Amino acid sequence: MNHKGTIRIETDRLILRQFTIEDAEAMYRNWASEDEVTKFLTWPTHPNVEVTKAVLQSWIDDYPKPEFYRWGIELKETGELIGNISVVRHNENTASAELGWCMGTRWWGQGIMPEAGKAVLELLFDTVGFNRVAAVHATDNPKSGRVMQKIGMTYEGTLRAAGKCNQGIIDEVWYSILADEYFANQRSEK
């Protein structure tokens, strides 16, 4: 593994970058304060911007670690910070990672999260050397599953009553993509 940490990534429409404490107002306003965004997440809606600042500071403190991956998603056109994508856990022994993401509802359905996800997969496979990247969603949150499909992940299965989110105990739907599948997809798209 060749960990690089949260390095800046650019796509056609997005800049994926490290958070700064100055992002607290935008993060709070654009997604952390939205109940609809946090509905299927493991952390509660932020009651105020001070909570958002504390969360951001904990992430900022982790940025020096080369195995820490957490990006703010910024729209190139407006400079607006609208969500985040991260490696929520990884396993060095199996060279595997799990992705998680969230974004303000105003930007849902515009292909933004698949664009961010593809960019992160490129870094994780091409540069870092992960062999497997997975993601999971609650059965009642199929929109997140569609993002997983759009970035090339394959449905693996549903684990009954295996997870917990703000809705309580939930069935987890797992998707993944392996490095050889990712590289085969890249070759076929050229």
> Rounded distance, CA 70 to CA 85, Å?
6
Sheet containing 96-103: order of strands:
9-10, 14-17, 70-75, 81-91, 96-103, 132-138, 168-178, 154-165
User: In the chain, what are the domains?
Assistant: 9-189 (3.40.630.30)
Per-residue pLDDT at 189: 74
pLDDT-derived band at 190 (thresholds 50, 70, 90) equals low
Mean pLDDT of 25-39: 97
- The pLDDT tens digits of the residues spanning 88-142 come to 999 999 999 999 999 999 999 999 999 999 999 999 999 999 999 999 999 999 9
pLDDT at 22 over 70: yes
pTM of the model: 0.94
Per-residue pLDDT at 150: 97
Instruction: Give the phi and the psi of residue 20 in degrees, each rounded to 5.
Output: -125, 165
> Rounded distance, CA 118 to CA 99, Å?
11
> Rounded distance, CA 88 to CA 38, Å?
16
Q: How far is CA 116 from the centre of its chain?
A: 8
The answer to whether 72 touches 82, Cβ cutoff 8 Å, is: no
> Rounded distance, CA 174 to CA 100, Å?
12
